Structure 1
């Protein structure tokens, strides 16, 4: 199926600072204790625990956070939103009442990520405060964060009216 526009957003660089710090500390402890046989810390973990920490927080933890991204695609049959690795959502054009580019306060949804607000509905956002607000025919709303909301809205409206 033809993709008319595709936007992929990743977390901003400062999101990774604590991850790099934790990962670096785990690798430092691993190298000190396993490679150089110097116990790490005043109450060192066992070698088995250090290996587990390395695998979980030194390898899997950073890979997991590097894989998080928001992908929005406008296709012939509707809008596809994927917040990897968590959820995918498909919005067929027949269910969409209205779309508009907007500026919003992410904190009103509870921050960034996959969010739900009883008053505002679902939001999928990675960064910034711009997005596409979609009103569905059933009265529900969905906000998709975007760095180019006007372009997404333009494509959605063109394809929806075909």
Structure 2
């Protein structure tokens, strides 16, 4: 018996996977995070060495402004450096950034269709991040490229950019017993 897997030696086929995992990363977000860190550093520098002769109010406003802008930029960009998508037997879960927040969980019983989109552009959604547009639905966009669109039972859609989205769509369709077109039998 040579290089055959155990299942092939006994005449059985391997069990289908029980979950699908995917990720997408945007390294450009790290540059924006550095800009946010720079604003925080400037705010700290102003607070420590701020010997302005024009008074405390302008100094305080500058320090608070730099710190607030820097923290918003820093945390806003780090939350969308990458996205992790997990599809298991009953749900799809999307986690953003290193802390996994924001997070979205969609039950597969609420999904009526899944489609592969070869090219999603952040400009279509108004930029990177967690997005909502009345005519398009909700999306998690971390980079330009491939993704998937889920059609939900309430008429809304959910879009996510993820590597190997075509495999995710196939996995979801198999779980929902959907044909290749993405429509339920009888629709």
Decide: shared fold, TM above 0.5: yes
Where does structure 1 differ by over 6 angstroms across 4 or more consecutive aligned residues? none
Q: Provide structure 1 residue ranges, at least 5 long, that are not aligned to the other structure.
A: 34-38
Aligned partner (choices 78, 95, 100) of residue 82 of structure 1: 95
Contact 1:106/1:112 (8 A) holds in 2: yes
Contact 1:27/1:58 (8 A) holds in 2: no
Inter-CA distance 45–62: structure 2 relative to 1 (3 Å threshold): farther
Residue in 2 that maps onto 1:144 = 160
Q: Root-mean-square deviation (CA), in Å? A: 3.5
Distance apart, 1:140 and its partner CA: 2.0
The superposition leaves residues 62-119 of structure 1 with CA deviations (integer Å, 9 ceiling, x where unpaired) of 7634651333221221101234534x32222222122122112322222222222222
1:84-123 to 2 correspondences below 5 Å: 84-86=100-102, 88-102=103-117, 103-123=119-139
- What is the rounded CA distance, in whole Å, between the counterparts of 2:88 and 2:55 in structure 1? 54
Q: Larger C-alpha radius of gyration, 1 or 2?
A: 2
Describe the SS at the equivalent of 1:71: strand
- What is the rounded CA distance, in whole Å, between the counterparts of 1:8 and 1:104 in structure 2? 12
TM-score w.r.t. structure 1 length? 0.69
TM-score w.r.t. structure 2 length? 0.62
Contact 2:91/2:107 (8 A) holds in 1: yes
Q: Provide structure 2 residue ranges, at least 5 long, that are not aligned to the other structure.
A: 1-17, 178-187
Residue in 2 that maps onto 1:126 = 142
Q: Give the aligned length.
A: 152
